[in-house]
Amino acid sequence: MSKSFRAFGLAVSALALTQLPAAAQTKVTDQGISASEIVIGTHQDLSGPIKVWGVPVSNGMKMAVEEINAAGGIHGRKIKLILEDSGYDPKRAVLASQKMVERDKVFAMVGPMGSPTVLAAQDILFDAGVLQLFPLTAAEFTFKFDPAKPQERLKFNNLLPYVESTRAAVKYMIEGKNFKKPCIMYQDDEYGKNVLDGFTQQVSAMKLAPASVTSYKRGASDFSAQIAKMKSDGCDMVVLGTVIRETIKKFYLIERQLTPEDEELTPTMKLKRSFVNKRYAAEINAMYGERAVA
């Protein structure tokens, strides 16, 4: 059995805690569980900007379910997985979650993808007493609890928070490379703002000031102004609070604008540029409708 689904079993067992007097106000659903079946749901990006992550995650979940069911299920109950495409769009995530809760009668939402999508949809789950387990986001809202909201006891996360991981990375890079002009470019949503918080906290703790802080709206494809600003501000380190396709294009633009000649690139940067050019050129050009990568 996969580690994720063993953890799923542990989280289900932990629900016994919600039966204690201190948690008497927490509503927990019993839908989706029968003598022969456990119904779980997930929403992934299968068609949007992070589909290169969402598709393999979905395939992995399907494989895990098949493996568990082939081995007899969980205490004799087979798992039924309901998969919906959010397209990394909060509105679609809300509609998908409503459908899975109300029509499919899921017992738990397992591994839903994306900070903005998970945030938009999670209250639908909590209001119905449906578990939210191990979302594919490490934003603070996925593990912090409001004591005034007992339904938030139904959320569980197993990832290192973005704020803490960003702080650790910034500290390591500045101490190891003696950078003096740290910069950040982030996606203007829950994910990017968590990365920004970590960056800002650590830079401040090290008695430095950001040389440049820029952002972009989710789904943007033109980052030339932001890259030009970072070049003008003299950045010697750039933290990217960005998702997959935007990160790949920014790697390319940063290298082209901050190190315009191949002769100025380190061997590692040359290797990375070669990999991006060969592996992702067609995909990036198709996504942006332009010849972004030669």
Q: What is the 3-state secondary structure (H, E, C) of the chain?
A: CCHHHHHHHHHHHHHHHHHCHHHCCCCCCCCCECCCEEEEEEEECCCCCCHHHHHHHHHHHHHHHHHHHHCCCECCEEEEEEEEECCCCHHHHHHHHHHHHHCCCCCEEECCECHHHHHHHHHHHHHCCCEEECCECCCHHHCCCCCCCHHHHHEECCCCCHHHHHHHHHHHHHHHHCCCCEEEEEECCHHHHHHHHHHHHHHHHCCCCCCEEEEECCCCCCCHHHHHHHHHCCCCEEEEECCHHHHHHHHHHHHHHHCCCHHHCCHHHHHHHHHHHHHHHHHHHHHHCCCCCC
Q: pLDDT tens digit string along 122-165? A: 999 999 999 999 999 999 999 888 888 999 999 999 999 999 99
The pLDDT value given to residue 268: 43
Q: CATH second-level architecture of 162-288?
A: 3-Layer(aba) Sandwich (3.40)
Tell me, what's the pLDDT at 246? 73
- pLDDT of amino acid 16: 43
Fold identical between 3-156 and 162-288?
Answer: yes
Considering the entire predicted model, what is its pTM?
A: 0.77
Q: Quote the pLDDT of residue 165.
A: 95
Q: How confident is the model at residue 7 (pLDDT cuts 50, 70, 90)?
A: low
Would you state the pLDDT for residue 146?
87
Q: What is the mean pLDDT of residues 156-180?
A: 94
How high does pLDDT run on average in the chain? Answer: 84
Domain 3-156 part of CATH 3.90.1150.10: no
Q: What is the mean pLDDT of residues 217-236?
A: 88
Least confident span in 9-18, 91-100, 223-232: 9-18
The residue with tokens 């201190």 is: 22
Tell me: pLDDT of 274 over 80. no
Mean pLDDT of 104-120: 97
Kindly indicate the confidence band of residue 24, based on its pLDDT and cuts at 50, 70 and 90.
low
pLDDT value, residue 266: 44
Is the pLDDT confidence value at 77 over 50? yes
Separation of alpha carbons 191 and 9, rounded Å: 28
- Please state the rounded mean pLDDT for residues 16-43: 79
In percent, the amount of the chain with pLDDT more than 70 equals 76
Whether 291 has a pLDDT exceeding 50, the answer reads: no
Report the C-alpha gap between 241 and 251 in whole angstroms: 12
Domain boundaries, the chain: 3-156, 162-288
